[in-house]
Chains A and B, each alone.
Chain A
Amino acid sequence: MKGYIRGAQYTTDPANKDEVLAISAEATGQKAEDFELTYNEHIGEIPATGKPNLVPSSRRWMGRSSSADCPVLIS
């Protein structure tokens, strides 16, 4: 857990964004600019502590029933 938490803390520090994108792109075989789309969408929801919290899990879908309610990643 210590290693994971260090990783989470480093990942969620905005100052490390470019390096995190480069590392993640290398690990996943994606282009950094493609990975950045999901990074921007999810980075605010990655807990730096790794502490489990299931309460917000339903938040993203609430109130969204049409495409107009959803963030557009690909147009």
Chain B
Amino acid sequence: MWKPGESASRRRSSQFAPLYVAKEKGYWEPENLDVELTSFKSGTENQQALLGDAIDIGAGGYTEPINLTSQGAPTVIFASAEEGLPHNLVAAKGITDVSQLVGKTIGVSKVGSLSNQITRIALTKAGIDADKVWTSSCAS
């Protein structure tokens, strides 16, 4: 649905810069849209707000519309903020290889979120059993 109201970005980061610019420069005003940008700590919270009709549009990961649709709330992806995944795996000094993450805990925005899922995919592609790496919800 598209109506004057809130548009939420899952996190306030560079891939959402067009939203900040459009808001600041008044690009929605010709359409008579009074858009308010709201930030959530995780994609999970973003999709909950969308499901609860607290926001009109969600800006986040592709897992959110997939999750919502699987829960009986069909959603539509109508724009892409970035042609790639804006994630980097950052480790403490001393960890220089993905294989060293076995048995360690990785912080993600929230369990079940895009950052959680893409971490598991990345570990699997690196030959690591994702179930042997712990994850912890740490917000954005």
Residues of A within 8 A of B (CB): 1-4, 6-8, 10-12, 20, 23-24, 26-30, 35, 38-39, 41-43, 45-47, 50-54, 56-62, 64-68, 70-71, 73-74
**Number of CB contacts from chain A to chain B under 8 A:** 145
A46 to B18, CA, bound (A): 9
Interface of B is mostly: loop
Q: List 30 A-B contacts (CB under 8 A).
A: A2-B30, A4-B79, A6-B25, A7-B18, A7-B19, A7-B21, A7-B23, A7-B25, A38-B86, A41-B14, A42-B15, A42-B86, A45-B86, A46-B15, A46-B17, A46-B18, A46-B83, A47-B80, A52-B78, A53-B83, A54-B80, A56-B83, A60-B85, A60-B87, A61-B121, A61-B122, A62-B125, A65-B97, A65-B98, A66-B98
Q: Of all chain A residues, which has the CB nearest B28?
A: A3
* Closest beta carbon of chain B to A45's beta carbon, Å: 4
Those of B19-75 within 8 Å (CB) of chain A:
19-25, 27-31, 33, 35, 37, 62
Tally of chain B residues near chain A (CB < 8 A): 48
Contact A47:B83 (CB < 8 A) given known A6-B27, A52-B78, A61-B122: yes
A11 to B83, CA, bound (A): 15
Residues of B within 8 A of A10 (CB): 18, 21, 25
